[in-house]
Amino acid sequence: MSESDHLLTEVEGHVAVIRINRPKVLNALNLALMEDLAELMERYDADDSIRVILLAGSQRAWAAGADIGDMATATRADMESRDQFSQWNRIKAIRKPIVAAVSGFALGGGCELMMHCDVVVCSETARIGQPEINIGVMPGAGGTQRLTRAVGKAVAMDIVLSGRFLSAKEAMLMGLVSRVVPKEHWFDEAMNVARVIAAKAPVSARHAKESVLNAEEHPLSEALGRERELFYMLFDTDDQTEGMAAFLEKRRPSFTGK
């Protein structure tokens, strides 16, 4: 495992694991961490040997939000000149699947980071929310938009305006997380999901991710048009030939990402 101050990384097969590591502040997200996270993710996105990125917090906290200490005395001009959302845009642009392993607090910017991930595996202990209103601000990294698209207006309003924390079970019922598992399995189950996705055809995974995300951003007819294009493009890949041949020959496919 290699180590920076706030992010720990390791690679297992085709899965790159990044762990957020600021335990003293419950993995609060500061500018330097977000910059390093965006850079690491871009590096893995460009690395052909990596097929899936697994982003994890600790058992106690996925991330308890943006670092309040960094913002407490900031003015509007300070916040604008930091241009912190450019790091979030870089993470949004990652093309490979990102699996989130979430345990404990996923709050504010932590919930927003979770919503930037593609498959969210969540411990039954998770507490998820957008409590910015408790400290005199509001969500700023997509919390009012992605949350509303995921859970609908009435529930999003409740979460954003009351600042209450959801249990993992509630979040699951609302479609905000993909799976809830017993607390001792939160990381292993996320790793299993990452391994399963890493065994699939990588170009299919990238195209499928793009297409699902298009549902959030584009009108239906436009997104359907792009889906069709992405589908056709896969017929130019070796992995389509291999996948279908393997099925007909009743053997496991061996995907190369070509």
User: For binding to ligand CO8 (CB under 6 A), which residues are involved?
Assistant: 25-26, 28-29, 64-69, 84, 105, 107-109, 131-132, 134-135, 140-141
Closest distance between ligand CO8 and the C-beta of residue 71, in Å?
7
189, 191, 197, 182: which is closest to 10 by C-alpha? 191
**Least distance in Å: CB of 60 to ligand CO8?**
8
Q: How far is the CB of 207 from ligand CO8 (least distance, A)?
A: 29
Identify whether the C-beta of residue 122 lies closer than 8 Å to the C-beta of residue 181: yes
What are the distances in angstroms from CA 97 to CA 14, 35, 194, 201? 12, 19, 9, 12
Look-up of token digits 């404990």: 104
Q: Give, for 13, the enclosing helix (H) or strand (E).
A: none
Q: Closer CB to ligand CO8, residue 4 or residue 49?
A: 4
* Rounded Cα–Cα distance for residues 98 and 149 (Å): 19
Cβ neighbours for 184, distance < 8 A, ≥ 6 positions apart: none
57 or 202, CB closer to ligand CO8?
57
> Minimum distance from CB of 33 to ligand CO8 (Å)?
9
Cβ distance to ligand CO8 smaller for residue 106 or 155: 106
Which residues carry out catalysis? Answer: 66, 109, 112, 132
SS (H, E, C) 123-192: ECCCEEECHHHHHCCCCCCCCCCHHHHHHCHHHHHHHHHHCCCEEHHHHHHCCCCCEEECHHHHHHHHHH
